[in-house]
Structure 1
Amino acid sequence: MKNRYTDSRSVACTSPGALPPLPVIDWAKVGQSAPVNVDIGNPDKNAPLPKVDIVVMTWTDTEWNALDHVFVSSDKEAYVSSDEFRKGWFLRSNDEYVKGAYNLWGFYRVVTVKNAAGIDLKILLWKSDAHLSHPPYADGLIAMVHFVLKEASPERLYSIGTAGGATISEKLGDAAITNTGKIKLKLPENTSSGLNDKTVACTSWYPDLSMNSTIEKNLLFKLSSVVTQPYLEYLLCQAIYDSDKGNPDWAGQFTVADMMNAALEDLGAPKGLDKKGIPLLTTDYYFISDGDDTEQYSALEMDDAVVGYAAGEYHVDYVFVRNMSDTVIPTQTPSGKPIPQELRENWSSEIYEHYGFYTSMNGALLTWGTIVADRDLKGQAATRKGK
């Protein structure tokens, strides 16, 4: 990618090699079996969604790929560059909602997961195409959530996916689990919604996290296997040269060691972090934490609190599971030299782009674990009427 710096001072960043795929999941390690696909035929885009017990909603294509790997295709490796997984998903569109010229809500499929009580719970996996920071903005996001909840009539709603760490204690590959969110909006398309500064919380239910330790030990992807010195050197080269905000004058001034902190070190034991009552921060703008002004939050992301607000309007219990894909970035080197904001953002973007796939697997696995542990649901999706 050329800019006024790289056009005259081009440097090729040499990759150490392709990163590995997501591995086959050995469910026997945790005494469980894989989710089971539900044959729902071949519905067209206007067919109503099936009734389910739980909706698990995710957002980006990378998160979608990882969600499919955990809940659908865990018997084979998954590659970030492949789109094979999309073939088994169905489009659900809403031709009646045309605000902002968007009428595509998302893609879905249905699986069952056997819970600890031996009941098969029906799960709607949903890949959203409505987002807070894109047309039709908050109005469209709320409309989509209402649309899904009205048709699928679930008891629970999970919103899962990548997020920024709020403090240095959230390591790359960890996942924060919380029932609370705070909304901060800047886009003019959203500020008129009345949602700015609102806090939402699901106080009627919180997931059972008793499976966490077993999943952490046996199934979570250890980011230490891919966050290696050679690869970090490559990512720093990319951050310096191959970015619109890059500047070759940074070369030699900043090293990988300067860009590291505890959030990017000792990544061999990823965790599911119980953040009950600690709100995540939902914004319609991207930013990275310096670890000071965001200590009161559990994670930083761009949809969930609005999703919770919409779910609350339908009296549906909800929870957020957000995996740490872009962590706190240092503001200065160990010697006290300030790190340019543009370099911090570039470094954060490189970490997200190359490691978000692996962190998303961890969030999906921890989500699965709470569903397995849920003894309260009775699996009545087939008989439950629409809300």
Structure 2
Amino acid sequence: MEHPEVTRAVMVPFTKVAAGILRFADIEIVGICDYREEKVGKTTKELVGDDVPELEIRPMEDLEELLEEAEWLIWTKEVLDEDVHYLKWREAVDEAVVKGVNVYNMGRLHMVAQDPNWKLEAHKRGVQYFDTSDPELYLEYLHYGMKAREEGVNADVVSIVGTGRRTGKFTTLNTARRILEEEGINVRSVGTEPSSLLTGSEAMVIPQVLPMAHAAGTVYGAVKKLDEEYEPDLILVGAQTGVTADPLEVGTGRGGSLAALTILLGSDPDRMVVATRPELLNGLQDVVEVVTLLTGARVQFVSVNGKDYSEEEVREVCERIEDEFGLPAADPIKMEEEFRDLVLDLIAPG
């Protein structure tokens, strides 16, 4: 399905994906609703920080009012692992379709296209819908994947690798891309988050919904397609979860290390950036050794998500990483200059 142009939108609920859209997407967000008491009434700046527009998180009862101002509903929660998430997903999509508002759905295992009633109502009311999960995406990239195996890729490929969930992989990729673009570098990206096409990536692959035999090839095919179409200097490839995460975490749609390793091996990187949190440093060496062994590529630097730490604490963590692991490290938000220098080294690695 062709990707739609999303301009004015309401987001439900407030998640890390929603925060990423606020930070990196060129979309007018007219409001955000949530059904969880711990979110309602707070502002985006309270929950994320000063680098996003300030909006108050409103209760679901206000969704109808906000939809009057919007052209799109963006459902931002990927994993509907509790009944309440599923019920609120259906409630929000129902309300949008009835009001004639387009739906951008990021539910990983729950798709608008799989509900015949929604499809019928959307058709009647002229409503567009877009599911970020596409089990047939591999068909688009199958040819490119075969070409990539035969010819390789001309651009340098840099893969983002995580030591676990919530390590700032998405922020690392998008911040690095902005820095490179500001320097006039022809950079493209294959995103693996459901908001990737909204935040600037030219391709998006959600591997958990693809046939396993084609998942890695789809990633490689996406890399090859960007290589041919844009002739970039550099292609950045995103990540999911962590390469040492539980491989049996499949029922929720997360996929654990299975998803992470699929993306990594499919991207066939020349270099890598590892994203981590301060509390995950004990596993950093294992991750570096695993990804280096599997790909033959080297880790260029470590990106630290210090969201819950002071700048001083983050700097101490980065110094520890350099001392103990021999890798430079920086937080993309709290150490902007240092992070910028590390990113620019990606195009001229020592």
**Larger RCO (alpha carbons 8 Å, 6+ apart):** 1
Give the TM-score band, short-chain normalised.
0.3 to 0.5
Task: Tell me the TM-score normalised to structure 2 length.
Answer: 0.35
* Structure with greater proportional helix content: 2
* Bigger Rg over Cα: 1
Task: Tell me the TM-score normalised to structure 1 length.
Answer: 0.32
